[in-house]
Amino acid sequence: MLTITWSDIEGLRRFDNALKALGDAKMRQIGNRAVNRAGDMARTQVYRSLTAQTGLKRRVIVKAVRVTRSNSGTLTYTMTTKGGDIALKFFAARETRRGVSAAPFGQRRIFPSTFILGGRFPNRHGVVFHGHVMRREGASRFPIKVEQSGVIIPAEMVKGATAQAFRSTVARVLPQRVEHEIRRATGGVFS
């Protein structure tokens, strides 16, 4: 037979009052705060890893990824992005004699038969189409088209190091934040 006795009933009363104070509305508020904080921390890690994974500059990634923060009704933190194949122009493209050198996916390579400027080497001049990397579609001068990189942010965001960074950050931070918010809401009763 197990018998429990309390020598100091004041601690039990404090615990009981703290549990009563945490009603459904307060618990949803606690969850909302914890989800938003964990989501913000995961967003930072996604920005870092997506920048390295795609080879794009951080400001481009920040502009491309949209965040919808949680509220007490949904308790859902969402990061979305849209778009297609990104032009080579955004990967530090520079023209060489053999073609344009650019760094999609963080790896610099030469794209043969592409160009940025007009004229013959070495006296190239003028920017053609706002700095885009161009390729001729046939043997004649025209038509020409914008050269793409193969980097698609929505596809890159859900695979590889970026997805792993998101999952690991949320798995590590969310329980800590829930515990912190409960301690905060109860005045330190739960610790």
pLDDT in tens, 131-146: 899 998 888 888 989 9
Long-range pairs, 31-36, Cβ under 8 A, ≥24? 31/72, 31/75, 31/178, 31/181, 32/70, 32/71, 32/72, 32/75, 33/177, 33/181, 34/174, 34/177, 34/178, 34/180, 34/181, 35/70, 35/75, 35/76, 35/77, 35/174, 35/177, 36/69, 36/70, 36/77
Number of structural domains, the chain? 2
Domain for residue 162, yes or no? yes
Instruction: Check whether residue 119 and residue 137 sit in a common domain.
Output: yes
Instruction: Check whether residue 80 and residue 169 sit in a common domain.
Output: yes
Express each pLDDT in 94-131 by its tens digit: 999 899 999 999 999 999 999 998 887 778 877 668 88
Instruction: Check whether residue 37 and residue 127 sit in a common domain.
Output: no
Instruction: Check whether residue 77 and residue 167 sit in a common domain.
Output: yes
Instruction: Check whether residue 71 and residue 158 sit in a common domain.
Output: yes
Instruction: Give the pLDDT confidence score for residue 3 in this predicted structure.
Output: 39
The proportion of the chain whose per-residue pLDDT surpasses 70, expressed as a percent, equals 87
